[in-house]
Structure 1
């Protein structure tokens, strides 16, 4: 009996990502087709054989596969057990159509760091409310992809003092917008800096990524409100989390307990506020 395909597809709220697609196929074979997006593919199990520009290729589990827009390709499992894959369809302008030819010549990238970053991005995209982290990870992935495509200097690298100033200006922006949040592209536009350089400068200056800093600020505010006796649902809305489950998931990851258990400890020590 042939196993039914197992797929999940969604469009995240992250600029540049047209679609996220996770699939497990056993007998499906893709006919020749083309996309208007870049196809960034990692295989978690099995192997995919495909033709690109009349040349045979293989998508292996330890490689990253980057297929360019508008170029036909097909795909089928090499083994009877099928394959499991995760795909990001990236808007064509995110990498630039001028690199299509180079991607055709070398669609398989042997880059463990890039593969790990793509895996991390998929993990983040599966969670609601982590848009800044997703944008940051996507910026670093695109920068590395462009290097593979031969674009060695993605953007001018600021001098070290300028990187420090950028980092502090970004921290000020994050402090001002803890509740409403800030997209990486908005920050880049306001600070006139490349998104990837913003992430790198901030991480180098403070030892923490921008999204980690913003999350920590929100959790700190949530702790204070919980200790003041506010219910978790109100706290989530007051500290920038998209809903109570987002608060609970993030709070437990950082503090080690759920917001409810954290608030319960405060009730054992009533404070006289008079």
Structure 2
């Protein structure tokens, strides 16, 4: 099941048996709750196992895969949050990082309760905003982050993010970004990773892939979606799509395009629904 994305937050619930999805990475936080079974994944060079009631917190740009830890399969809910939402709350502090990928900390469990409700529940705008703020503060507290801002120029990084967001469908030069931010490219790259968890180019590529997903769901062809989103060609887009989501655009569209909203979860023996988002 998947909810309609609202304000940059995506919410899904899924069930898998066997292998769920290949190694991939994305530029959002992936935060979820295992509901049944054993949810296993490789993350930061180790296998992790999440049991029912555990909370999963995957940092942006960290590679991971997914599979059932037992023959019974597993069921989970997950939200995908753009780092910029947490930055709005943390006001320039470095992004929280929780080592391990799985936590039983009650502060994180409590802070995710609202956002990890059943997919059929529609979150009101203020409800979602308050829940994101609570989650950002809980992540920072559990990560042991200081109250002071991280080292770097947060406002330059935010100007770079806004500029890339507004111009992702075309080639953006380093000189343009330097001019737009008033920061040299090397310092800006460090700032961007500190405050948004990924590189400027990776952020640009992800915005193009977001546009491709929207266009594919509306019926646009692969070639047209690739060109309109700013990729050199369809094969260029497909390579990035596979590396990011763990499956090809055609396979993603086949699964996600038919996934129900607000109804019983789609059972997938192999070929991940969640790889499109996890």
Structure with larger Rg: 1
Measured against the shorter chain, the TM-score band is 0.3 to 0.5
TM-score normalised over the length of structure 1? 0.47
| Structure with greater helix share of residues | 1
Q: RCO higher in 1 or 2 (8 Å CA, sep ≥ 6)?
A: 2
TM-score of the pair, normalised by structure 2:
0.46
